[in-house]
Amino acid sequence: MGLKGKIILVTGSAGFVGFHTAKKLLDDGAIVVGADNFNDYYDPGLKEARNKILEGYPNYKIYRGDLSDPKFVEKIFTENKFDKICHLAAQAGVRYSLINPQSYVKSNIVAFVNILEAVRNNNIKDFVYASSSSVYGNNKKVPFSVDDQVNEPISLYAATKKADELMAYTYHHLFGINTTGLRFFTVIGPWGRPDMAPMIFADSIGKGKEIKVFNFGKMRRDFTYVEDVAEGVILSLEMVGGYHIFNLGNNKPVGLEYFISCLEKELGKKAMKKYTEIQPGDVLETYADIEYTEKNLGWKPKTSVEKAVNLFIDWYKEYFKI
């Protein structure tokens, strides 16, 4: 179908996944309206740098403000006539949800409802939003399937993402809005987040500082390349109709030790490892079953974890001039 000439709201456009998604949409000829509050959960300078690249496109504009404020959301929807909504803004991060739970309620619940209400009041049919693999909690069955029960979130972050899926269902049922929730699995790549393992590890390895290896290295993550994820988001925006939940994961989890060895190889330096206990809220393993996604969305990841680490470190060295 293609989204050329379509007007799309991308919330969280100054964020990691939002930036890549907005950029790909702009490259495909869509008109993108971004919205972000550039908060300081991590360095806002990185968000500004991503946004600057997007502002190089004539078909992009940004609204700066907080989506938990209904007046701000109303202003965006009054001034633009959207074809589709791509809601990626959220308070991300599992560990921080133990420190500042209110921030998750504000950005992942209140802002989410504000957007749903605006979608409803403006008769917009298609709504795509970010969920998370964290909804699976300590699911014993691997790989994780969208048919599995996800009623035991082990962090408030996960609970708010599960709540988003439930609220999306309600708006689909009551108002016939097409909603697609995407459960992203540990996204990695250029312009990545400073609060996530790849950047934290790269920083410490580079500076010869200790890295904390949680659960004594016995953890596995299904790292997924950011451009593959953005492609999945765009396929979801193109898809028409219904209520959906899809896993967007690599389907090839790797152990933490192996992941660190990939970083060491790219950085040409050995990590100083400090083995330690698992952090509260962290899950032991993530592993996406993507059969349903492949069949119904036509999406398949293309990038291996080794390549993803290579592309991430190339960007990291260039951005931080290392």
Ligand X SMILES: NC(=O)c1ccc[n+]([C@@H]2O[C@H](COP(=O)([O-])OP(=O)(O)OC[C@H]3O[C@@H](n4cnc5c(N)ncnc54)[C@H](O)[C@@H]3O)[C@@H](O)[C@H]2O)c1
Q: Is 254 in the site for ligand X (CB under 6 A)?
A: no
**Candidates 13-21, 262-270, 292-300, 313-321; binding stretch for ligand X (CB under 6 A):** 13-21
CB of 182 to ligand X, least distance (A): 8
CB of 30 to ligand X, least distance (A): 18
Identify the residue whose tokens are 């495909």.
28
One symbol per residue from 189 to 228: x for binding ligand X (CB under 6 A), - otherwise; what is it? Answer: ----x-----------------------------------
Alpha carbon distance 248, 234 (integer Å)? 12
CB 7 within 8 A of CB 34: no
Q: Is 88 in the site for ligand X (CB under 6 A)?
A: yes
**Candidates 15-23, 148-156, 282-290, 294-302; binding stretch for ligand X (CB under 6 A):** 15-23
Q: Is 15 in the site for ligand X (CB under 6 A)?
A: yes
Q: Is 178 in the site for ligand X (CB under 6 A)?
A: no
**Candidates 77-85, 137-145, 182-190, 280-288; binding stretch for ligand X (CB under 6 A):** 182-190
- Token pair of 30 as six digits: 């869509």
Number of CB atoms found within 10 A of residue 129's CB: 25
Identify the residue whose tokens are 């996204």.
187
Q: Name which of residues 93 to 112 contact ligand X (CB under 6 A).
A: 107, 111
Strands (E), 65-219: 84-87, 126-132, 178-184, 187-188, 210-213
Q: Give residue 225's identity as a one-letter amino acid code.
A: Y
- Token pair of 136 as six digits: 């699976």
Alpha carbon distance 173, 10 (integer Å)? 24
Q: Is 39 in the site for ligand X (CB under 6 A)?
A: yes
Angle at the Cα of 242 (from 238 to 247), degrees rounded to 5? 70
Active-site hit among 42, 96, 129, 157: 157
Q: Give residue 145's identity as a one-letter amino acid code.
A: S
> Which of 92, 128, 197, 260 is the binder for ligand X (CB under 6 A)?
92
What are the φ and ψ backbone dihedral angles of 294, each rounded to 5 degrees? -60, -45
Give the binding site for ligand X (CB under 6 A).
Answer: 12, 14-18, 36-39, 47, 66-68, 88-92, 107, 111, 130, 132-133, 184, 186-187, 193
